[in-house]
Each structure stands twice: as C-alpha cells, then as structure tokens.
Amino acid sequence: MQLLIKNAHIVDINSPYHLQTVDVLIEGDTITAIGKLTSETAQVWDAAGAFVYPGMAELHSDFGEPGNEESENLQSGAAAAAAGGFTAVGVVSNGHPYADNKTGVEFIAHKSDQSPIHLIPIGTVTKGRAGEELSEMFDMHRHGSPFFGDYKHGITNANVLKLALLYSRSFGRIMVHPEDDNLVAGGKMNEGETSTFVGLKGTPALSEYLRIARDLQLLEYTEGALHVASISTKEGIEAIRAAKAKGLNVTCSVNIHHLLYTDKVVSSYDTRFKVSPPLRTSEDQQVLITAVADGTVDCLTVDHLPKDIEQKQCEFDNASFGMAGFEGAVCHLLDAIDLDPERIQALLSTNPRAILGMPEICINEGGVAELTVISQEGQDWTGFASKAFNNPMIGSTTKHAVKAVVVKGAILGE
C-alpha cells in the first residue's frame, strides 16, 4: 500500500509534528515522509483537518472466541474494534477452553496474524479461572501474553493472589477485577437510592473498596506489579491515589461506560446497562472524570463484553452482565468529556500499549504507520460490524467520527 494522507492534524507528544497539520506519506506499514507532499503513485486521502493519533489500544475485551461464538467471534470483534478506532486489542479469556496455558495463548496469537488489527492474548492467572491454582503464566508470557487476569472473576483466596504477584514479578503484571464476591452476593446494580426505587438488589461500593484495599496490601507485601481494572467508585480512586503516592507499582483503568452513564439509567430496566462493576452514582462519576483528567487513571477501556439477544432480552434479574461498546464508545467519550488531546493519547494509546507490551508509536519519518483518525464531522452509529445485541449506542449520533484506522499496511473504514 502507498497512501498519502493530506491535511492530517497530528496529535502525538513524541512527534516533532505534534499539533501541526501536515501531509503523511505511508508505504506499506512505514511512514516515509511528512510535510507538504504530492504523489503521482499513491492513493490520496484527504483527512480534512481530522485528528490523527497513534493507533488506539484496548486493554481488555472479550471477542467470544473460543466458547461464545454466538455472541461474537474474532473476525467480527476485530472489525468492530477497527470501526471504533482501535488498532490493537487485549483479548481476554472468557470462554471454554480458557487460556490458562500456552495453547490458549497461541490460538489468539495465531489468529492475530490473520486479523486486520493486532490481537494480544491475555492469559488467566489461575487454572480454569477457578481462583485456586496458578496457571502456567511464565510459559504463556513466552508465547505472547503480556499480563494476566481472571477476567470478571475476583481472586478470593488472598494467598493465591500473593503467589501470583510474587511469581510474575520479573515478567508480567496481574490484572484484578475490583469486586468482593461475598459482598456482591446477587447484586444486579449499584446499591443506593435508585436500586431502592426500582426494587433491584444492589451491590455496595464497599465491595470495590475492600477488594482493592486488600489487593494493594498484597502488592505492597510482594513488590509485584498490579493493574486494577474497571474502577467505578470514588473510594476505589482514593485507594489508587494513596497507593501511587506510596510508590507502589500499580496501574488502573476506568471503563468508558462508567464515564457516560450513571445508575439512574437502570430505572428503565434496560438490560444493556447491567454491567460489572455496576454503573454508579453521579458523585462517583464526577470523581472518575477528575481522576481521568489529572492522571490518576492510566487507561480508558471499552471493556467490550458481547451478549446475544437471549442473554439480554429478558427480565433484568435474569439478564447477563456486560455491555458491548467498541462502535461508538470513543466518539461518545469525546463528545461528553473535555479532555486535552495529549490526555486522550495517553489514556487510549500510550499507556495501554505499554501495558500490552507493544512498542510506542511515534508519528515521524521512519515510524510505524499505525494510526487512528478522528474527525468532527459527526457520525450515525447504525451499521454495526459486531454480532452483539447489547450496545446501547446503537442508533445514536455523535459529533465526533472515526474516519479510519491505518494498521498492518492497510487503511480500514475510509
């Protein structure tokens, strides 16, 4: 591929062209020239002043395969991610057989070679995600897993998490889900005024704080590396701030849907808003937004968890947890929250790529051509690549639009 992108507004703090509007010439998967350019042989595409970021990366999302292909598969998931602006995705293990050994990791790594975007396999911490016996983490790391997590499953046994942090200290990071299973105990949404009003059993914010506090104590004891995923409460943010102030090796992420919605939307009993951790109060949401802006939060995540119609078109109590969101999440985020372009780059590209063990992208001559192009032309989110039923952004309109991604020597979406 030879592509000339005209009038690209570069957002890359590592690039000498940061915040400049320039032309970018790409040959194969390499940026060969930047400036005021013309070409008689290249495909010419006018970005019309759209923001061009280093390729955005997602830390943890479920693509259904293997085990849940009726909801999503690697092909449809990758297409949805690209449509949403992502060039790389950490693919979690959420179906049988679990990726608790090198075979499971190699399955995703092999599929990545055939995928239009990069698929990074995330191995489990424990065998079968049962929380009892450590998985073959070092072997999985050697075959492509940059960190490890029992996706949506908390590790109840403190000794198991302690051993995982000790064992992985030299080669990986442990990702944990911030909910105490005993305190969740059948909760369907956030515990508070709204849960009382709608008559649904609530999950207290305390369940998140207690689990994070315990995990941070274990982190301090082991001197390991920890990533706390999907923080949803002000108490969780406060615990992370304190841990970072102490110098602990901890990173954290917030799901975009926790910045867009509060527990008030559950009043409609729309099962697409049944997620784990649950949507919280507006007070929690404001604390999350502040933490995202001030650098306490390292990454923003879609946490794409696809479900089919049978799992969601039912009574709220019986519906499965999870929200699909690749298509629309970033644009709704940019519409709703005023973040500096540099902060967007850190939250959606630089930091997640580092945790995923991927090289940092620099938009410069000789650099890898892996880009996300976002305009302010507006977008109607109607045609979806994902197989999932549970995306609440279906039918919505945003002021921002994903114009294209450039990855693996191809331009997708233009």
Task: Tell me which residues are annotated as active site.
Answer: 303
**Largest Cα span, the chain:** 66
Per-residue b/e over 284-294, b at no fewer than 16 CB within 10 Å? Answer: bbebbbebbee
CA distance 180 to 232: 13
Under 8 Å between Cβ of 252 and 230: no
Residue 333 dihedral angles phi and psi, to the nearest 5°: -60, -50
Name 60's Cβ contacts closer than 8 Å, sequence gap at least 6.
90, 92, 122, 149, 151, 175, 229, 253, 301, 303
DSSP H helices in 84-205 = 102-114, 137-142, 158-167, 181-184, 193-198
Does residue 121 sit in helix, strand or coil? strand
| Distances in whole angstroms, Cα of residue 86 to Cα of each of 21, 59, 196, 302 | 22, 11, 38, 10
Name 43's Cβ contacts closer than 8 Å, sequence gap at least 6.
1, 2, 3, 4, 411
CA distance 105 to 133: 18
Q: Which two structure tokens, joined as six digits, stand for 312?
A: 């969601």
| Distances in whole angstroms, Cα of residue 20 to Cα of each of 36, 56, 377, 411 | 11, 19, 19, 22
Within 10 angstroms of residue 242's Cβ, the number of other Cβ atoms is 12
Q: Which two structure tokens, joined as six digits, stand for 89?
A: 């995705």
Amino acid at 414: E
Burial, 279: exposed, middle or buried (Cβ in 10 Å; 0-12, 13-18, 19+)?
A: buried
